[in-house]
A and B are shown apart, each in its own frame.
Chain A
Amino acid sequence: MPTATFKIWRGQGGVGAFEEHEAEVSEGMVVLDAVLQIQASEANDLAVRWNCKAGKCGSCSAEVNGKPRLMCMTRCSDIDLTEPVTVEPMKAFPQIKDLVTDVSYNYEAKLRVKPFNPRPPDNEDGTWTVYQEDIDRGQEFRKCIECFLCQNVCHVLREHQKFDEFIGPRVLIHSAYLAMHPLDVEDRTRDLKEDQGIGYCNITKCCTAVCPESIKITDNGIIPLKERVADGFYDPVAKLFRRLVGKSR
């Protein structure tokens, strides 16, 4: 079986170095297979998160040859194996050990978003009447697997470390799901502007480019939210109109 060289970043708390390992490469193999193969044979204490191995849980985010990816969805056949393949942890978050980073920020940030607040049920049995076309957009946002790759590449967070001012694309997509939920009655515009710092996003679309679920984070989520904020804060006619007819769509 052919082999390839993987340079895996090993270390704790940001201090460490690349360590070279050989892995056998079989047909259809993904980078996570190589990492687990190395772990099972010669580096039992190599720290890496993974679960479903099918792109559904968002655990194995890392940077492969500098590109933020899910390791389980990165086919070895799609990368140049004649050169050593580098595998590093996500850079925006504090490193814990090896490929594992401290992603607790994302969980804490989500807690700041006001929970779903539905209108009273439409029907006597406690259900609502909702049509498919009203939830298509929301379902797109719900495809998010919380891999946090979008948070990792967002330059506001990655380069400028403005975690206190800007909540990041993943959490904005959560806000977008809530704001566009046909049943939700919560007014979210003030929080979007003041707590979540949506103004910091300058639409470079780096988040959209890395999303393994192909969610159009910027176009379908953040930009419409920005428009709401603009309407809510700077357009009194629209604000009045919304008050009269109910929640805008």
Chain B
Amino acid sequence: MAEVRTLDYDVLIIGAGGAGLRAAIEASSAGVRVGVVCKSLLGKAHTVMAEGGMAAAIGNVDDRDNWRVHFADTMRGGQYLNNPRMAELHAKEAPEVVKQLEAWGALFDRTKDGKILQRNFGGHKYPRLAHVGDRTGLEMIRTLQDHGIHQGIDFHMECTVTKLLKSAGSISGAFGYFRERGQFVLFRSKAVVLATGGVGKAYAITSNSWEYTGDGHALAYHAGADLIDMEFIQFHPTGMVWPPSVRGILVTEGVRGEGGVLTNSEGRRFMFDDIPELYRNQTATDPEEGWRYVTGDKNANRPPELLTRDHVARCIVREVKEGRGSPHGGVFLDISWIKSKLPNAEDHIKKKLPSMYHQFKELADVDITKEAMEVGPTCHYIMGGIRVNAETQMSTVPGLFAAGECAAGLHGANRLGGNSLSDLLVFGRRAGHAAAEYAGSHSPGAIDQAEVDAEAAKALKPFDGGDENPFQVQKSLQSMMQSLVGIVRTESEMQEAVVGLGELWQRYAKVGADGNREFNPGWHTALDLANQLTCSEAIARSALVRKESRGGHFRIDFEGKDPEQAKVNTVIRQAADGSMTVSQEPLVPMTDEQRQIIDEMK
């Protein structure tokens, strides 16, 4: 029998980014015992990388803003595949949870009259993003962390969960290991909240760190939960492209929100060349109008650089493909041009975009106050994930909850920038509340010791002398997903990917780990790899069945939108024999009121 440390909780939260921390704070406030596990140290989760801001219709900068406009913007951005109830709750509750951060010590940038300042972002009709320069995520995670550590929550840092345990169909706990010493741990818990973030590390060019291996998605899938919308991956249009070692690192959309423009090698602002019908009424007709918008003219429409991310990314791919790219295979993003408009432009840029200034100066020898950046798409976010109830965030497995990026529904086919941080707060809070309530009305489930022993044995298998290097298998997966299930997709390539995944599963069966169990990244990667393969398979299979182009899913063999496909979510589920099934099921319908709002805002 494996040596396993046992810990008991009412609510176990897996992940300590914005969603996990917010859920933990909420659950703890209900008086239940809360444990949080995270793969890295506290405060290092991907939330820390979020730059631009959190969207909330507070209306401090433009008082025409309200939850109805935010709801309509989110639905339009998601191409109406969103769960409308989640979009409504998000729009209604975001102002409150954002303001709450201030009560916990957050220092947002201010308006002249002393309120929280809000900035422009793609797809948002009015300036809506509460922010702190371009390091909003850091402010958010630190605020939640510093508040959370005083709430009586147990934090288990550098701990990875490999399996969820169930009893009579409901969650009863989770099994994992501490990375530092490699000891196993069994969490007995009445409820589990997954807040594990995304899957970006399945791609070669990504803004995501080593942690983003789709753990929550895979844990939920193996526990019998449904995943939906897995074909929708957000390739953020502006990642760094040069030098090679920084390829994929995020360049905030805030650059465009502050007036940055995209140009091709001919110096042309190509975003004016292709404005989707859905956004024609909201987009500036010339550069002058665009500039007036970013400088606060309420009668102006937003520049086409602030169209949704899916669209901007595809336009960049087109420019590069047609030979109008920058020297290193991207396009130019220029904020320095505002010198011709503002007397103190250099200081303004450094004040509003300090970490971008620093990042380009240090890593690429580019001074963004003087010259253009080279940018191109980078895998950033997955809209798809665990299917949840809008009110409670409970998955299709009783006692299993999910919040943040690993949950699905709010963003539909494409997420608007700034809607992620507010998502973490709104649905982290809801998940924490509902999980605590669930734990209060259920007794602990049984733990099957044989299952624990089997999982421990499985976790140690890489030490049996397999000869595949886990990092190399991971690298093969990343380059395959990048080229075959990337921004532009087609049937034959995705079929090839499914076959390729089969081969990678075989290589995975032979991965080996050198050394011992103490802080061993090779071993950790070997274990994470299974989750990456599961998620990649879910992405490829979902993308194959959606025979249309919409949001973050673009197929050259089906370039247009299919009205029939506008009515369904793609659902991934594990069959009784362990195989992955994919089906299409009707969307959550809109209420009459929701439909009316959308019609009004057209």
Contact = CB atoms under 8 A, between A and B. Distances in A.
B149 interface: yes
Contact of A30 (B44, B245, B519, B525): B245
Nearest to B248: A53
A135 B242 contact: no
Interface in B90-142: 99, 102-105, 107, 109-110, 113-116, 132-133, 135, 138-139, 142
Interface stretch (A138-146, A201-209, A215-223): A138-146
Contact of A145 (B103, B138, B244): B138
Interface of B: 40-46, 48-49, 99, 102-105, 107, 109-110, 113-116, 132-133, 135, 138-139, 142, 146-147, 149-150, 157, 180, 209-211, 242-246, 249-250, 355, 358-359, 362-364, 469-472, 475, 513-516, 518-523, 525
A40 B471 contact: yes
Contact of A143 (B135, B243, B249): B135
Given A28-B244, A52-B49, A55-B359, A47 B139 contact: no
A121 B157 CA distance: 34
B40 A59 contact: yes
Contacts, number: 167
B469 A118 contact: no
Interface in A94-124: 96-98, 100, 103, 107, 110-111, 115-116, 118, 121
A58 B355 CA distance: 14
Contacts of B364: 28
B209 A51 contact: yes
Interface string A41-55: 101111111111111
11 contacts: A26-B243, A43-B514, A52-B44, A53-B249, A54-B249, A56-B138, A57-B209, A73-B363, A97-B519, A142-B107, A178-B105
A185 to B, nearest CB: 12
A228 interface: no
Nearest to A74: B362
Nearest to A45: B515
A110 B471 contact: no
Nearest to A106: B41
Contacts of B362: 55, 73, 75
Given A39-B471, A52-B48, A142-B138, A44 B521 contact: yes
Nearest first, the 8 closest Cβ-Cβ pairs linking A and B are A28-B243, A44-B522, A45-B515, A40-B471, A116-B105, A129-B114, A47-B519, A51-B209
Interface in A10-43: 12, 26-30, 33, 39-41, 43
Contacts of A103: 41
Nearest to A103: B41
A92 to B, nearest CB: 16
Contact of A50 (B104, B209, B243, B514): B209
Contacts of B518: 12, 47, 96-97
B453 to A, nearest CB: 25
A126 B46 CA distance: 29
Nearest to A12: B518
A55 to B, nearest CB: 7
A181 interface: yes
Contact of B246 (A54, A126, A138): A54
A130 interface: yes
B363 A75 contact: yes
A126 B99 contact: yes
Given A110-B149, A118-B103, A129 B514 contact: no
A142 to B, nearest CB: 6
